Amino acid sequence: MSPTTTADALAQVASDPDTIERHFPAAARTAAREGIDGDAAREALLLALPGDTAYVVELVSRVYEHGDPAERRAVLLALPALDAPDRTARIGDAALPIVRDALRTNDTRLVAAALGPYAATQLDDDAWRQAVLKVIFMGIPVSQVSGLDRRSDAELARMVRDFAAEREAAGRVVPPDALAILALVDTPAPSPSRAD
């Protein structure tokens, strides 16, 4: 029988981690009855998982693989919390297969969630640049990409310029976010002020 409250589900997951596969899908409905955000309730369930990193990542991966799009999005949104410096079993880069899977989809909600703070920290430069280009192509606002100001570089600018040139050559509009990235990367550093 399913618990009647989020607190019951959290206690059961903490004592019997395998029950997360039963509680995670129901968490948003339970949370809604309690006036709690469903994504926050799902994140709390993932954070309640006991065990070492490998075990936690295995369970998180299973929940993601078996989840519907809303459940998958909740897993992606929880990854930064699962990798927080104060966690005993930080996931490190072990959850990157989840991020890569989401980036292969055409679901804008999953792609946007995949490019949160976890990806900004853990994705290698090439994969991150390709993901940003996909965001532009799909029309996802680049404001949803964590770490854009910190990770944008000359190679990303080259890729975006090539994308923009292809769009223009085909008579298509260049998305404003492509131009925003170029402005971000191509903005020269302010020159030091001189004392006269």
Interval 62-76: pLDDT, tens: 999 999 999 999 999
Q: What is the mean pLDDT of residues 167-189?
A: 84
> Could you tell me which of 36, 37, 6 has the C-alpha nearest to residue 24?
6
Does 183 or 128 have the greater pLDDT score? 128
Reported as a pLDDT band with limits 50, 70 and 90, residue 191 is very low
- Pairwise CA distance, residues 62 & 50, whole Å: 15
Does 134 or 188 have the greater pLDDT score? 134
Q: Structure pTM?
A: 0.90
The one-letter amino acid at 138: M
Residue 193 has pLDDT above 70, yes or no: no
> Could you tell me which of 38, 14, 15 has the C-alpha nearest to residue 25?
38
Reported as a pLDDT band with limits 50, 70 and 90, residue 184 is confident
- Give the residue extent of every domain in the chain: 1-123, 125-187
Q: How many CB atoms lie within 10 A of CB 172?
A: 10
Residue 185 has pLDDT above 50, yes or no: yes
| CB-based contact 131:167 (threshold 8 Å) | no
Report the pLDDT value the prediction gives residue 190, as an integer from 0 to 100.
43
Q: Where are the alpha helices (DSSP H) in 16-95?
A: 20-34, 38-47, 53-66, 69-82
Interval 12-58: pLDDT, tens: 999 999 999 999 999 999 999 999 999 999 999 999 999 999 999 99
- Pairwise CA distance, residues 37 & 15, whole Å: 23
